[in-house]
């Protein structure tokens, strides 16, 4: 938490930077390979850090897909490989492709002339096909180049090569044999139908079927980890496939600085560097974006953990109607200068408190002040951008707003945690926050924000769906408590029942919600068809009935399990003492065991209630109603604000339920237990 809070100052400063430019964002893409995606992420992050807006469209497909997307203008920049230009322009026989510099110059000239595609600085490495031998073999026979390998094989060296069918049959292996003067017999080849290099590397490293040499790509991450030695193509038999960023000329004209931004990055790559970076993704399982961020930070090209990108995030998004793409607007574009400066001053003060003040109360006051000013600023921005009387325009909070809100929320949460307030204080803080937010909403402060526009349109439905949401979550919980607590008591009294009962409930818990809703539709529909009385009571295949039954079934496991655990933790000495003074088993249960187990049981009820509040959302898909109606309607209409109209109250309900029941558990834990007197 402390690291996050120390970053708050940087986040606030960056989020309040210059207004984002209104030019179109650069769409950065990549092929499916991890190397292509990793390099693409590095370029995208560098562009963001330099104030160029970007769109992330990594891993959209293989080479033909990405190439066609670039030519069609669907993407703007991606990592290509120099040798592929021979295929693009049907000129694979040109010897220039076997030299990095000549191949780059030829490919750049052809692509620009035909398509107005500009090639930027290439990396000084090739990801072409190559051979790699086990390190022990390479050291024993002094194998460093393909010429060394050719002489060794021709002299009778024991070689078993594992490769793909394409490598063996498409001419690549035969070309290497001709250039380096060796021939591999069929008994010296293990040919894989698929032949991914991960498989060939692993087989050679393990010596599978005697393999000691593998087909690899030059920058494969697994080469060093598998202790293989790549052999230099010293006679340049294979085309060079050097990574090179390619960009549409129209985009480069709009952002001419991109060439200079990318140049030092690409110049930093050699084969060993790319192998090490690829190994982190391919061998260690790290994400390509995480590797990209760390590499850029270590080189000093990305500050504050990549948070420099936040400087260009929009404060609000302006839309001419609810479904069209939005237009980003920065703080200084939507507020008067005095208001923007005042907003900046308050948040900078909040950031200073977060970094330099240890007192929890001051930190909480600063966080709440920051949230208040942030809310008023976004409301003012919406008012400024919405003409009087207009009901169509939509103004939504932008990414910078959400980043700041999350950071301020973390600051407030940290402060409250440090203060360790009692349960009553926590409930009062929650009530105060809800009261202030409700008063602001009732006053119309946020009426011009897009989510409130959606509320205005759905004002008649909203309270109905809100009540239905609460009824579905609470009703299923009450039913589960009525059934689950006695079942838990029974399992505690008869331990042999615990495995089958809890096992069955565990199985139910693993069924996805939408699947369970669907499973219940058929039997409930058949029941309603056969029994009109059931249909009259609302039991049907669609609607609230399958939702309530499913939520009831999901609720049983936490309640039954927590009842068993709570009763199990009651001291045997207390029970024996109660029995010893003449209390009946029923009196012991109601007067001793259940009161002592109640905190654990209510903890299970809290889990169930929060779970149900979230899961009721899915009930809208089967006609159950609730706030999920707005969520799925918004998804269907691509109206994000309508989704938020349903999602925000769900979050508030779940959070409030958790705070209230946590407070109740703490009160029960702190309350001294007094056993009832035995009956005379």
pLDDT in tens, 502-530: 889 888 888 877 677 677 766 766 766 67
CATH top class, domain 129-230: alpha beta
- Residue 3 token pair: 């690291």
Can you count the helices (H) and strands (E) in the chain?
32, 13
Instruction: Give me the mean pLDDT over the 440-451 stretch.
Output: 88
H runs (alpha helix) in 24-171: 34-49, 63-71, 85-88, 100-115, 135-141, 146-154, 165-169
Q: Does 3.40.50.80 match the CATH number of domain 462-670?
A: no
| Among 476, 613, 503, CA closest to 561 | 503
Q: Measure the CA–CA gap between 108 and 94, rounded to whole angstroms.
A: 15
Domain layout of the chain by residue ranges? 23-123+241-302, 129-230, 316-457, 462-670
Q: Please, which pLDDT band fits residue 10 given cuts at 50, 70 and 90? A: very low
Examine the pLDDT at 22 and tell me if it is beyond 50: no
Instruction: Give me the mean pLDDT over the 6-18 stretch.
Output: 48
Q: Cα 225 to chain center, whole Å?
A: 29
Angle at 9 between CA 5 and CA 10, to 5 degrees: 110
Q: Measure the CA–CA gap between 469 and 628, rounded to whole angstroms.
A: 8
Q: Assess whether the region 23-123+241-302 and the region 129-230 belong to the same CATH fold.
A: yes
User: What is the predicted pLDDT for the residue at 276?
Assistant: 93
Instruction: Give me the mean pLDDT over the 243-260 stretch.
Output: 95
Q: Which range has highest mean pLDDT (128-142, 293-307, 377-391)?
A: 128-142
Per residue in 85-128, pLDDT (tens digit) is 999 999 988 999 999 999 999 999 999 999 999 999 999 999 99
Phi/psi for 164 (5° steps) reads: -85, 165
Would the CA dihedral through 196, 199, 202, 204 be positive or negative? negative
- Residue 375 token pair: 């809310």
| Among 663, 625, 671, 624, CA closest to 646 | 625
Instruction: Give me the mean pLDDT over the 480-489 stretch.
Output: 92
Per residue in 595-611, pLDDT (tens digit) is 888 888 998 899 889 98
Q: Please, which pLDDT band fits residue 533 given cuts at 50, 70 and 90? A: low
User: What is the predicted pLDDT for the residue at 204?
Assistant: 92
User: What is the predicted pLDDT for the residue at 144?
Assistant: 95
* Coil/strand/helix, residue 77: strand
* Coil/strand/helix, residue 319: strand
Q: Measure the CA–CA gap between 291 and 40, rounded to whole angstroms.
A: 12
Q: Measure the CA–CA gap between 465 and 244, rounded to whole angstroms.
A: 54
| Among 555, 560, 557, 554, CA closest to 489 | 560
Of the options 3.40.190.10, 3.40.50.300, 3.60.9.10, 3.30.70.380, the CATH number for the domain spanning 23-123+241-302: 3.40.190.10
Q: Measure the CA–CA gap between 254 and 327, rounded to whole angstroms.
A: 18
Q: Measure the CA–CA gap between 531 and 543, rounded to whole angstroms.
A: 17
Q: Please, which pLDDT band fits residue 258 given cuts at 50, 70 and 90? A: very high
User: What is the predicted pLDDT for the residue at 306?
Assistant: 34
Examine the pLDDT at 58 and tell me if it is beyond 80: yes
| Among 85, 18, 80, CA closest to 43 | 80
Residue the block writes with tokens 């009109």: 532
The residue that leads in pLDDT, 418 or 653, is 653
Q: Please, which pLDDT band fits residue 211 given cuts at 50, 70 and 90? A: very high
Task: Give the lowest-confidence range in 105-114, 390-399, 540-549, 634-643.
Answer: 540-549
């Amino acid at each position: 938490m402390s690291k996050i809070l120390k970053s708050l100052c940087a986040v606030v400063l960056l989020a309040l930077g210059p207004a984002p430019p209104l030019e179109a964002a650069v769409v950065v893409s990549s092929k499916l390979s991890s190397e292509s995606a990793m390099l693409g992420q590095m370029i995208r992050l560098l562009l963001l850090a330099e104030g160029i807006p970007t769109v992330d469209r990594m891993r959209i497909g293989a080479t033909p897909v990405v190439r066609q997307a670039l030519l069609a203008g669907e993407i703007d920049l991606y990592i290509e490989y120099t040798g592929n230009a021979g295929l693009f322009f049907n000129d694979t026989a040109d010897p220039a492709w076997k030299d990095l510099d000549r191949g780059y110059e030829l490919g750049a000239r052809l692509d620009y002339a035909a398509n107005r595609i500009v090639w930027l600085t290439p990396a000084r490495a090739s990801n072409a096909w190559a051979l790699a031998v086990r390190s022990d073999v390479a050291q024993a026979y002094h194998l460093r180049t393909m010429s060394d390998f050719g002489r060794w094989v021709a002299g009778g060296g024991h070689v078993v090569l594992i490769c793909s069918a394409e490598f063996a049959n498409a001419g690549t292996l035969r070309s290497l044999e001709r250039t380096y003067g060796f021939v591999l017999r069929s008994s010296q080849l293990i040919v894989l139908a698929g032949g991914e290099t991960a498989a060939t590397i692993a087989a050679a490293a393990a010596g599978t079927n005697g393999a000691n040499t593998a087909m690899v790509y030059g920058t494969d991450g697994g080469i060093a980890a598998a202790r293989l030695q790549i052999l230099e193509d010293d006679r340049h038999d294979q085309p060079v496939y050097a990574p090179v960023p390619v960009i549409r000329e129209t985009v480069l004209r709009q952002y001419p600085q991109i060439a200079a931004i990318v140049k030092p990055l690409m110049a930093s790559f050699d084969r060993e560097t790319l192998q090490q970076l690829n190994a982190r993704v391919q061998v260690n399982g790290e994400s390509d974006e995480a590797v990209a961020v760390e590499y850029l930070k270590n080189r000093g090209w990305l500050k504050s953990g990549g948070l420099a990108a936040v400087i260009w995030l929009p404060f609000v998004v302006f839309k001419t109607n609810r479904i069209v793409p939005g237009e980003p607007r920065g703080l200084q574009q939507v507020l008067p200068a005095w208001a923007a400066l005042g907003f900046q001053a308050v948040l900078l003060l909040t950031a200073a408190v977060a970094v330099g003040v240890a007192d929890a109360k001051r930190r909480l006051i600063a966080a709440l002040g920051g949230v208040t000013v942030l809310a008023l600023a976004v409301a003012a921005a919406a008012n400024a951008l919405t003409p009087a009387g207009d009901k169509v325009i939509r103004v939504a909070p932008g990414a910078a707003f959400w980043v700041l809100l999350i950071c301020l929320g973390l600051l407030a949460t940290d402060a409250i945690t440090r203060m360790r307030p009692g349960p009553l204080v926590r409930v009062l803080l929650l009530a105060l926050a809800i009261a202030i937010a409700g008063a602001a909403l009732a006053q119309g402060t946020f009426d011009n924000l897009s989510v409130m526009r959606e509320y205005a349109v759905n004002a008649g439905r909203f309270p109905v769906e809100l009540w239905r949401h609460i009824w579905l979550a609470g009703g299923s919980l009450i039913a589960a408590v009525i059934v689950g607590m006695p079942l838990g008591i029974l399992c505690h009294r008869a331990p042999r029942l615990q495995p089958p009962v809890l096992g069955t409930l565990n199985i139910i818990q693993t069924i996805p919600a939408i699947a369970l809703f669907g499973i219940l539709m058929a039997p409930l529909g058949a029941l309603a068809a056969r029994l009109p009385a059931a249909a009259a009571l609302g039991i049907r295949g669609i609607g609230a009935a399958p939702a309530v039954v499913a939520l009831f079934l999901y609720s049983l496991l936490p309640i039954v399990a927590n009842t068993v655990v709570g009763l199990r933790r009651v001291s045997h000495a207390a029970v024996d003492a109660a029995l010893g003074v003449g209390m009946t088993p029923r009196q012991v249960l109601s007067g001793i065991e259940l009161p002592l187990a109640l905190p654990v049981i209510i903890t299970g009820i809290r889990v169930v209630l929060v779970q149900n509040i979230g899961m009721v959302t899915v009930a809208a898909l089967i006609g159950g109603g609730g706030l999920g109606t707005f969520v799925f309607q918004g998804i269907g209409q691509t109206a994000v604000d309508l989704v938020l109209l349903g999602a925000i109250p769900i979050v508030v309900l779940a959070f409030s339920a958790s705070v209230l029941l946590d407070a109740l558990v703490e009160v029960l834990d702190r309350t001294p237990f007094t056993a009832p007197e035995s009956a005379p």
